[in-house]
Structure 1
Amino acid sequence: MENVNRAKSDNKMLVFIFLALSYLVSSFHRVSLSVLSVPISQELGIGMDTIGTLGSILFFIYAIIQIPCGYLCDRIGPKKIILFSLIVTTIGSLSFGLSNSVHSLLLSRVLLSIGISTTYIPAITFVRLLFRSEEAGGLTGILLAFGTIGTIVASKPLQLLVDNFSWRVSFYIFAIIPFILFLFIVFSVGDIRIKASSSSLKDGERTKGLGLDRALVSLIIIFTICTGAVQSFQGLWFIPYFVDGYNFAFTTTSNLLLVFSTGYFLGTPIIGRLCDKFDVRKLLPIVSLINVVLWITLGLKIAHANIIFLGILLFSIGFFSAGLISIGFYYVGKFTKIDRRALITSILSFSGYIFTSFLLKFIGGIVSLSRGMDNLNSFFIFYAIIILICAFIFSYRKE
């Protein structure tokens, strides 16, 4: 059993709200560069290759910090980690808003990346330690929903803020918010940590290796490239793709990004609920096939001429991509060995973010060399083909 110090936990629901707001800030910064890339590029005169580097740095740092962050949460408690996260996010956001050169942007982005990459794990650790196990599942879903709200704020609302003020003001605002959260947690949250734990598994029952099989490996590949494709598209290349590639108005494109983010927001809980109702091993190939059709449709530019059709397509891509990611986490929680679930979950998270980092930089280089966005369409189709192959491997059963 876990012995936990639950000091000052009478206000735990209020604590949860502030933790959820912290994750909202983290998610906002993960994808805000998509809207901000154009005004930043225009004001400072930097190219898309540099913008790609700014995006890539964040996801690379986010990926490599996940496992050590979890280790430190167990060792020194989540309070110290979340406080570190919030104060570094404050400094990084303020510094980015004040930047006037590529070097200062890069340094600020590194600080910001370190800050937001140490938010989710201590937040979910707080949930696990403060609340009963029968409450933790629902609250975890709410926490993730707050993260998706952060991505929605980083679409149309952010564009309105940029239009009426400037891109710098958005960073000043999102420096103030984590600082307020920092102060609240300093004075309102006790030091909560795991004092000791014992495994329910005997030594002879422990799994040797990761317990990987064909289905799990193919699922990890699907999860990795789906996460990378969605986060790189939503987090950076969405606005440039439509504005620079197809001369869409900035306002129209930010509206489309809001539609995409709304689909993503709804896809996570709805597909997650379907996982409870149906066999996830049959659900994954179906959702994968839907994703294949949707991304190929986008890559072939079939919907670009009709804004309503395009909006429906982007909503659907967001919805079913989020669903595919939800299925990945659900499958690991249900079908992997109990003493390997956390490790395999961390592998999923790491692989998704590291691939996102690679794609942001890789696509930025391609766009700069080709001076156009048409190559993104080829990537969408290639991505769909890989998903199709992996889904077939996952669902194939030997007689």
Structure 2
Amino acid sequence: MAVWVVGLATYLLAVFHRSSLAVAGLVAAQRFDIGAGALATFTMVQLLVYAGMQIPVGLLVDRYGPKAVLMTGAAVLTLAQSGFALAESYPEALAARVFVGMGDAMTFICVLRLVNTWFAPRRIPIITQLTGVVGQSGAILAAIPMTYGLAHLGWTRTYLISASLGIVMCVGLAVLVHDAPGVRRTIGPAMSLSAIRTSLAASWRHPGTRLGFWMHFSTQFSATTLSLLWGYPFFVRGEHVSSATAGVLLTIMVLAVMSAGPVLGWRITVQPWHRSTLVLAIIAAIVTVWTVVLAWPGDAPLWLLVVLVVVCGVGGPASMIGFDMGRTSNPPDRLASATGIINQGGFLASLVLVVAIGLVLDARTPGDSTAYTAGAFRWAMSLQYLLWAVGLVQIWRYRRRTRAMILRHDPDLSLFRAGQHITS
């Protein structure tokens, strides 16, 4: 349990650092003398690096073990936040956020590997969901102390203090975390480029890995897009609610994420065969509510917007069901790399949607980026249907192939229900 707690605390701190700029936008714009576009680039670059690092990090975990990679990630985050604290120019600050994205990318996969090693197979789904829920609370925890620090301590001291927490995490990881019960460090075999390609190809070739990827792709992007950038302007400009109400709606979405995680973890533990069915049902709910909101004549009522953020929030922990699919589809020696493949899905979809929404809004409201209309937002948010269509077709394809493979190798499903992987 101590191993998981320390790993979880490290992941929570990574999310804290990832989200620390959310309440510092105005201060950052003033400090670096930048506009909204350059400010948004901080977040976009950070997330692009995070998504791009998933497969390399997975390979590093398979080779050197989760403890070594997790400590490296904590150290990189500490140095990156320190650099961000001391940056005097926009290029220096942007470089620091690149390394924040790198350090962040080294945490979640490692913690999932520890969960898969230290807990019994039947407990892994719910522990995985708890990991995601508690870790994502770092975004909430970042808001109040960072706001207070920036107001009373200034930019440099606030970010240096937050960076110093990483030193504590590094000490805890070094002292308390072992890669496996009775084993302080696990070292995988050295892999040539051809061996790496073979390993990744084997992970991707398994239909369960692809199913996990498309599950993650289809369930996460709606909530991530709302919380990352476009939720607040959509509610204020598109649905004409007050700024305070928009903030409450986004908070409700975070609470939905935290509440749904343990429930979904328990559900897939009880009925693992129906994991994809549960994901399909959640996607159908998200699509249905978005359709009602976008088709509503005039502004949608507040109760409907509450339903929207709740169902979108449930999509966050639903995306983590994809990791459980990867767990039962890959042997331990390539589990981290398979997790990295799956973890790219939702972030790639989110980044595509975030950029596409901005392009459509600019096209529908030329000449005035501050005057986005409700009609423009309806066009922009309708882009989600393209991503859902692709994701649903792929989920349906690979669900059939994964189930057929499981039944070929485990006709009575006894091994499958016990949580063991089916890889061939």
TM-score (norm 2): 0.72
* Counterpart mapping for 1:286-365 below 5 A: 286-299=281-294, 306-307=301-302, 309-319=304-314, 321-333=315-327, 336=329, 344-364=338-358
Question: Which residue matches 2:205?
Answer: 210
* Counterpart mapping for 1:83-232 below 5 A: 83-130=71-118, 136-154=124-142, 157=144, 161=148, 165=152, 168=155, 171-189=159-177, 192-195=184-187, 210-212=205-207, 220-221=213-214, 223-232=216-225
Q: 1:178 to 1:267 in 2, by over 3 A?
A: same
Aligned counterparts of 1:162 and 1:297: Cα–Cα separation in 2: 42
Confirm or deny that 1:275 pairs with 2:268.
Answer: yes
8 Å CA contact 2:149–2:158 kept in 1: the answer is yes
Question: Which residue matches 2:385?
Answer: 384
Question: Which residue matches 1:3?
Answer: none
Aligned counterparts of 1:298 and 1:44: Cα–Cα separation in 2: 38
1:119, distance to aligned residue in structure 2 (A): 1.2
Question: Which residue matches 1:10?
Answer: none
Aligned length: 373
8 Å CA contact 2:236–2:242 kept in 1: the answer is yes
Mean Cα displacement is larger for which, 111-120 or 218-227? 218-227
8 Å CA contact 1:56–1:358 kept in 2: the answer is no
Q: For 1:46, what is the secondary structure of its paired residue?
A: coil
| Alignment equivalent of 2:258, drawn from 249, 257, 265 | 265
Higher relative contact order (CA closer than 8 Å, sequence separation 6+): 1
1:249, distance to aligned residue in structure 2 (A): 5.5
Confirm or deny that 1:23 pairs with 2:15.
Answer: no
Q: Deviations over 1:166-202 (max 9, x none)?
A: 88466344312222212333345568222569xxxxx
Alignment RMSD: 4.0
Q: Which runs of 5+ in 1 are unaligned?
A: 1-12, 198-205
Paired residue type of 1:236: L
1:242, distance to aligned residue in structure 2 (A): 4.3
TM-score (norm 1): 0.75
1:289, distance to aligned residue in structure 2 (A): 1.2
1:250, distance to aligned residue in structure 2 (A): 5.0
Q: Which runs of 5+ in 2 are unaligned?
A: 190-200, 401-424
8 Å CA contact 1:256–1:311 kept in 2: the answer is yes
Aligned counterparts of 1:102 and 1:263: Cα–Cα separation in 2: 36
| Alignment equivalent of 2:39, drawn from 51, 64, 77 | 51
8 Å CA contact 1:127–1:136 kept in 2: the answer is yes
Paired residue type of 1:194: T
| Alignment equivalent of 1:69, drawn from 52, 57, 64 | 57
8 Å CA contact 1:219–1:390 kept in 2: the answer is no
1:316, distance to aligned residue in structure 2 (A): 2.7
Aligned counterparts of 1:80 and 1:313: Cα–Cα separation in 2: 41
Aligned counterparts of 1:190 and 1:326: Cα–Cα separation in 2: 24
Paired residue type of 1:254: G
Mean Cα displacement is larger for which, 301-310 or 229-238? 301-310
